[in-house]
Amino acid sequence: MATAASTSAFDREDVQFPSGGELCAAWLYRPTGAPLQKASSSSKPRLYPVVVMAHGLGGIKEMGLDRYASCFAELGIVCLVFDYRHLGESGGTPRQLIDIQRQLDDYVAAIDYAAQLEFVDKQRIGVFGSSFSGGHVIEVAARDKRVTAVVSQCPFTNGFHSARCAGILPMFQLLGLAIRDVLFTRKDEIVSIKLAGKPGETAMMNSHDAMTLYDLVPPHLESEYKDYIAARLVLHIGFYCPGWKTSKVHCPILFAICGKDSVCPSAPTLSYAKKAPKATIMHYKDTGHFNIYTGANFDMATKDYTKFLRSNL
The CATH code of the domain that includes 70 is 3.40.50.1820
Domain contains 283: yes
Instruction: Report the domain count for the chain.
Output: 1
Helices 65-73 + 295-312 axis angle, to 10 = 40
Domain contains 204: no
Domain contains 27: yes
Least confident stretch, 29-43, 82-96, 235-249: 29-43
Confidence of residue 3 (pLDDT cuts 50, 70, 90): very low
Domain contains 90: yes
Which domain range does residue 122 map to? Answer: 10-160+241-311
Q: What is the pTM of this model?
A: 0.94
Name the average pLDDT for the chain. 94
- For residue 275, the Cα-to-chain-centroid distance in whole angstroms is 22
Integer Cα distance of 221 and 238 in angstroms: 31
Q: What is the pLDDT of residue 4?
A: 44
Confidence of residue 1 (pLDDT cuts 50, 70, 90): very low
Q: Residues 195-238: pLDDT tens digits?
A: 999 999 999 999 999 999 999 999 999 999 999 999 999 999 99
The burial class, CB within 10 Å (0-12 / 13-18 / 19+), for 260 is: middle
Confidence of residue 2 (pLDDT cuts 50, 70, 90): very low
- Dihedral angle at the C-alpha atoms of 164, 169, 170, 173, nearest 10 degrees? 130
- Res 37 pLDDT > 80: no
Domain contains 100: yes
Angle at 178 between CA 174 and CA 181, to 5 degrees: 140
- Res 239 pLDDT > 90: yes
Domain contains 25: yes
Integer Cα distance of 305 and 245 in angstroms: 21
Q: What is the pLDDT of residue 32?
A: 86
Domain contains 172: no
Sign of the alpha-carbon torsion through 138, 111, 227, 234: negative
Domain contains 230: no
